[in-house]
Amino acid sequence: MSSYAEMFFDLVFGFFSLFALTKILGKTQISQITAFDFISAIVLGELIGNALFDDKIGIPHIGFVVIVWGGLMYTTEYITQRFKGSRYLLEGSPEIVIYNGKLIRDVMKKNKLDVNQLKHMLRAKDIFSMDQVEYAILEANGTVSVLRKSDYQTPTRKDMKLAAQPVQLPISLINDGEIIYDNLKERNLTEDWLLEELRKQNYKLEDIFHAEYEKGKDIQLYPIHNRNHEKWDV
């Protein structure tokens, strides 16, 4: 029974210690933490968890771990605030993944971001077609910030008192340079039709990174486009 009591007090102490630590460090909500904050949280949680189930470790040891690790995190935060050059190393930096409506393939590859993941994040922003995006920035915390093309910014059709139009869901026909045959079949399209559409816009299959189709509109093509080692500040 005594072991349960010790675990209880250790757990309560660890909980309030971590809570106080997050208040002192001024951490934001989980969705806004950087990769460094995420790693720090995992390591600190592991240290506390191991301390709770070790009979030789008590509240003083847990307090020592929290204080030392908290001091390291606080020092890191201080360094990033005081010395701007350290922010790129410790916190990362935002990068442009869509520039002037074009997918920047090498930036996506560098950040291990594929088209499906990008489209998922865009849908979370109520954007169901990449054709609506002028710029998309992958933030240091892993989220995406979007600047829509002017045609898709407010005011909306409702604001202008225009009649509503049917809404079509775009579908991917080429992804990462490969034809998605299931999607072609679903829309009763053929590979020959797709290749002919590419030819009409003076492209070959090997030139295209991603292609998107919406009924009643021209196919939207996103050629392979690299930034050629340009540096864009965002």
pLDDT digits (tens, 9 = 90+) for 201-212: 999 999 999 999
CATH architecture of 95-223: 2-Layer Sandwich (3.30)
First to last CA, the chain: 58
Q: What is the pLDDT of residue 234?
A: 56
- Where do the structural domains in the chain lie, given as residue ranges? 2-89, 95-223
Considering only residues 131 and 158, tell me which one the structure prediction assigns the higher pLDDT. Answer: 131
User: Is the pLDDT score of 32 beyond 60?
Assistant: no
Percent of the chain scoring above 70 in pLDDT: 67
Give CA–CA dist 9/77, Å, rounded.
30
Helix (H) / strand (E) containing 19: helix 2-25
DSSP 98: E
At residue 10, does pLDDT exceed 50? Answer: yes
Tell me if 13 sits within 8 A of 62, measured CB to CB.
yes
CA distances to 75, 143, 220 from 96, rounded to whole Å, are: 30, 12, 20
E strand or H helix that includes residue 174: strand 171-175
- For the question of whether the overall pTM of this predicted structure is more than 0.95, the answer is no
Q: pLDDT tens digit string along 67-105?
A: 777 777 778 777 777 776 776 666 667 889 999 999 999
| pLDDT surpassing 50 at residue 31 | no
197 Cβ neighbours under 8 A, 6+ residues apart: 218, 219
Tokens found for residue 233: 């500040």
How does pLDDT run across 103-153, given as a tens digit for each residue? 999 999 888 889 999 999 999 999 999 999 999 999 877 889 999 998 888
